[in-house]
Amino acid sequence: MKVIGLMSGTSVDGIDAALVDVTGSGYEVAIEVLGSLTVDYSAELRHQILGVCSGQSITMAQVAQLDDEIAIAFAQAAQQLGPADLIASHGQTIYHRPPTAKHLGYSWQLGRGDLIAHLTQTPTVNDFRQADIAAGGQGAPLVPPVDASLLSHPRQHRCVQNIGGIGNLTYLPPWDRTGQPPTDIVGWDTGPGNALIDWAVDLFSQGTLTYDHNGDWAAQGTPHAPLIDQWLGQPFFQQPPPKSTGRELFGADYGQRCWQQAQTLDLSQADFLATLTAFTAATIVHSYQQLPRLPDEVLLCGGGSRNAHLKAQLQTQLPGCKVRLTDDAGLDSNFKEAIAFAILGYWQWHQHPGNLTTVTGASRPCILGQTHMPHT
């Protein structure tokens, strides 16, 4: 079955799309990636989405307009990849509230599925996070079971580390990828990925740059170790899994507070970027220290895997693990999340549960997503 996976994440940079031929059943799926592309959001649309994510008030009419603009952009991205049997669209997260002891989680993705189905004349699955959340789960991360199916190694312990706007890990004990996955797979959000670095680069470049290319700017500075230790003391990092987070915590306000602290210590812009980058690496390593054991290999994906400075820091802080890219295990690190949603869509179509309760904390396995059929 040919499935198009569509994903735009917490970096809000654009839509990643992958056309994937998926075969097999359950966790024993096989894939061939037939095409992929990224469609950048227009500066105006990105600005609007970031505004909403940072808590800016908008009217219901503006929400409706934004929802449609995102759906149209997603449909156009799918159309560029050509016809498919199914579209699996994550949509654009504009709000994510993890569950607490008092209330269920809440997660809102814009880009309505009915409109994508109508515009592309292709059945479309979306709203992947809702069923897991209704069952008491975090609703995120959802990609770990796909990581298990595509990236488990028969003898080695692996971790897959996505570095998007937010970072998330999947811990994969050895598995030969037949039958049911091991019950000790875990995964959770590690904290900020590129979100804080992107925020600071945007500020320092007065909006002319959106990210620190290869980490070159951070590489010119010196990290401030006591500040990193202080930031790691924050409750999110002490909280046991399952856990998830978003721009609601690691957004502009958080970045602003960090920059104020750095200024009182007379840190230069480069020193601040070096500190944020080292902090991002430290949050990931901190999460790995909570695992049953350190992995033999860490496979990076997401845009942050192209930040050479961040990757080098991870390798230094995890001396016993080989830090590589998912490409080294045969999966394109730039499009892994889009490919993963194609598989999650395939699982919905075949009514196979998509969440791992050991990851999200949901009370039961759930069929994830809603399918919208096109009306001819």
Ligand X SMILES: Nc1ncnc2c1ncn2[C@@H]1O[C@H](COP(=O)(O)OP(=O)(O)OP(=O)(O)O)[C@@H](O)[C@H]1O
Ligand Y SMILES: CC(=O)N[C@H]1[C@@H]2OC[C@@H](O2)[C@@H](O)[C@@H]1O[C@H](C)C(=O)O
The H or E element containing residue 182 is none
Q: Report how far apart, in Å, the C-alpha atoms of 7 and of each of 40, 88, 102, 216, 302 are.
A: 12, 9, 31, 27, 11
DSSP state of 181: P
Please state the closest distance from residue 188 (CB atom) to ligand Y, in A. Answer: 8
- 75 interacts with ligand Y by CB under 6 A: no
Q: Give 33's strand partners.
A: 20
Please state the closest distance from residue 194 (CB atom) to ligand Y, in A. Answer: 10
- 287 interacts with ligand Y by CB under 6 A: no
What is the longest distance spanned by two Cα atoms in the chain? 63
- List phi, psi (to 5°) of 366: -130, 150
- 160 interacts with ligand Y by CB under 6 A: no
Identify what 336 binds: ligand X, ligand Y, none; CB under 5 to 8 Å per kind: none
For residue 231, with 0-12 CB atoms within 10 Å meaning exposed, 13-18 middle and 19 or more buried, which class applies?
buried
Identify what 317 binds: ligand Y, ligand X, none; CB under 5 to 8 Å per kind: none
Please state the closest distance from residue 302 (CB atom) to ligand X, in A. Answer: 3
Four-residue CA torsion sign, 34, 347, 117, 63: negative
Identify what 67 binds: ligand Y, ligand X, none; CB under 5 to 8 Å per kind: none
Binding residues for ligand Y, total number by CB under 6 A: 17
Distance CA 303, CA 21 (A): 24
Identify what 283 binds: ligand Y, ligand X, none; CB under 5 to 8 Å per kind: none
**Is 303 known to sit in a ligand binding site?**
no
Q: Map 269-305 to HEC letters.
A: HHHHHHHHHHHHHHHHHHHHCCCCCCCCEEEEECHHH
DSSP annotation string for 28-89:
EEEEEEEEEEEEEPPHHHHHHHHHHHTT----HHHHHHHHHHHHHHHHHHHHHH---SEEEE
**Is 11 known to sit in a ligand binding site?**
yes
Binding residues for ligand X, total number by CB under 6 A: 23
Of the two residues 93 and 277, which places its CB atom closer to ligand Y in the complex? 93
- List phi, psi (to 5°) of 215: 80, 20
Of these, 67, 69, 189, 198, which contacts ligand X (CB under 6 A)? Answer: 198
- 140 interacts with ligand Y by CB under 6 A: yes
Near ligand X in 326-345, by CB under 6 A: 337
Contact stretch for ligand Y (CB under 6 A) within 64-72, 161-169, 210-218, 365-373:
161-169
- Give the interface with ligand X as residue ranges (CB under 6 A): 8-11, 13, 162, 164-166, 193-194, 198, 211-215, 302-304, 306-307, 337
- Give the interface with ligand Y as residue ranges (CB under 6 A): 9-10, 93, 96, 107, 140-143, 162, 164, 166, 168, 189, 244, 246, 337
